[in-house]
Structure 1
Amino acid sequence: METEINDIRVIMKETYTRLVSFKSENNQESFNKEFLKILPKIYRYVAKRLNSAVSNGKLNKGMFNPNDFTDQLFIEVYDNIAEIKDENELHAFLFKKVDQLLEDSLVEEEFDHVFFENIDTYSKPEWDAMEEKYSRDGDGDFVMLEEMDDKSLNKDNYILDHVFITDEEKELAEKLDASLNKERIERHVQLVLDRMNLGMRTVFQLFANEGFTLNEIANIRDATISEVEKDLQKARKILRNSIEKRFLIDSN
């Protein structure tokens, strides 16, 4: 995962240089072709945000498509490339712009209090039923771009290291790795994330999936670093507790 993140940062830096050059030449066709090379990463993020809104009943299926937002992003980046001061800022700039486009269009999501108030009491059959309904009604609605066939871009990587961070917790993570396949853990993590408030969910996704630092996330979210850190800690705690209750406690 760390190698993938570093690769993305290198690609973003190289892309920034070419985008600036094409903009200075007023060559929008070449600008757009260059931008297409990094679009799958953004498209995946938009698709996950839209899937979450569908799952939470905040968005009807078919109301939006990821292309609605990525097409607008082309225009935003071309018109505002001068706002990016150097090659290190393009990555965060893209996510900040697409976040603004999304939040201008989507209904503000409410925290699912009932779900989290009862998270310690759900039995294994209840968890399985929720996961089945989630997979049927909300997850995977949007088909990725053809470029998403690239194995480095085609799905999220929820690594347990982002949830279990102390030495004691890492022992629990090893037990999970030994007893469950990766896809099962990912489905559970996404199910729980989709019921968090927007701030916690987005901060965790930007940190765990996209590899942004707390400072970069604060910039993307127009928040303070302490606010971002608080949201990340809350998200981790909820995810850790839900995983332990569902998969690691014998009573379940």
Structure 2
Amino acid sequence: MNIEINDMRVIMKETYSRLVSYKSENNQESFNKELLKILPKIYRYVAKRLNSAVSKGKLNKGMFKPNDFTDQLFIEVYDNLGEIKNENELHTFLYKKVDQLLEDSLVEEEFDHAFFDNIDTYSKPEWEAMEEKYSRDGDGDFVMLEEMDDKSLNKHDYTLDHVFITDEEKELAEKLDASLNKDRVARHVQLVLDKMDTRMRTIFQLFTNEGFTLNEIANIRDAKLSEVEKDLMEARKILRNSIEKRFLIDSN
């Protein structure tokens, strides 16, 4: 994942210089073709946001497609390229703009208190039933990605390393690795994430999936750094506890 993130930062820098050149030439066709090359990951990010909204009942299935938002980026970037001061800011600018577009269109998703208030009491059969329903509904994959031919668009991309980060926690992760396959972990993490509110889930995704620093996320979300740090810590805590309760502690 880190290699992919570092590669994306290099690509963004190279793309920025080309975009500046095409803009100075008033060559919007070449400008758009260049921008198109870096949209797959943003498309994927938008799809995840839409999928979570549909899964939580805050958005009707089929109401929006990812390109309803990514298409607008061509206009936003071309018209506002001057706001991007250097090559390091393009990556953050794109996500900030698409986040603003999403926020304007989506109903804010609330924290599912009923789910989390009872998380300590769920039995293994209850967890299995929730996962079965989630899988039957398509793992939240209501927004299709087949038109994007990119290996980075695999929907199951969460791992235990995204949740268990300290040395002590990694010992627990090693125990789980022996009994759980990657798809099982990814489904569970996404199921729990979809029960969180928009803010907390999005911060976790921006940090984990997109590789942004906490300062960059604060910029994208127009939030205080302390708020971003707190939400990321809380998201990890919730995910860690849910995994421990479900897979490490015997329940009836």
**TM over 0.5, yes or no?**
yes
The CA distance in 2 between the partners of 1:156 and 1:225, in whole Å, is 29
Identity of aligned residues (%): 84
Give the corresponding residue for 2:157: 157
Q: Give 2:144's aligned residue.
A: 143
Q: CA deviation at 1:153?
A: 4.2
Distance in 2 separating the partners of 1:145 and 1:30: 25
> 2:92 matched to which residue of 1?
92
> Higher mean Cα deviation, 154-163 or 51-60?
154-163
The number of aligned residues is: 251
How large is the Cα RMSD of the aligned pairs? 1.3
Separation (CA, whole Å) in 1 of partners of 2:117 and 2:184: 23
The Cα of 1:156 is off from its aligned counterpart by 5.2
**Alignment check: 8 A CA contact 1:112 1:195 kept:** yes
Amino acid at match of 2:65: N
Q: Is the 8 A contact 1:203 1:228 kept in 2?
A: yes
Deviation for aligned residue 1:167: 1.5
Whole-angstrom distance in 1 between the partners of 2:18 and 2:58 = 38
Letter in 2 for 1:86: N
Q: Name the amino acid aligned to 1:186.
A: A
The alpha carbon displacement at 1:154 in A equals 3.5
The separation in 2 between residues aligned to 1:87 and 1:153, in whole angstroms, is: 25
**In the aligned structure 2, how far is the partner of 1:35 from the partner of 1:131?**
38
Runs of 4 or more, structure 1, over 3 Å off, are 152-156
Q: Give unmatched runs, 5+ long, in structure 1.
A: none
SS in 2 for 1:20: helix
The separation in 2 between residues aligned to 1:135 and 1:251, in whole angstroms, is: 22
Paired residues of 2:145 and 2:153 also in contact (CA < 8 A): no
Give secondary structure in 2 for the equivalent of 1:93: helix
- Following the alignment from structure 1 to structure 2, what is the Cα–Cα distance between the partners of residues 155 and 90? 25
Contact 1:163 1:240 in 2 (8 A): yes
Residue pair 1:47, 1:66 contacting (<8 A) in 2 also: yes
Structure 1 residue matching 2:34: 3-state secondary structure = helix
Change (3 A) 1:215 1:156: farther
**Quick check: 1:52–1:194 contact (8 Å CA) kept in 2?**
yes
Normalising to structure 1: TM-score of the pair? 0.96
Letter in 1 for 2:18: R
Are positions 1:80 and 2:76 aligned together?
no
Cα distance in structure 1, aligned partners of 2:186 and 2:201: 14
Query: Tell me, which stretches of 5 or more residues in structure 2 are unaligned?
Result: none
Preserved CA contact (<8 Å) 2:42 2:70: yes
SS in 2 for 1:247: helix
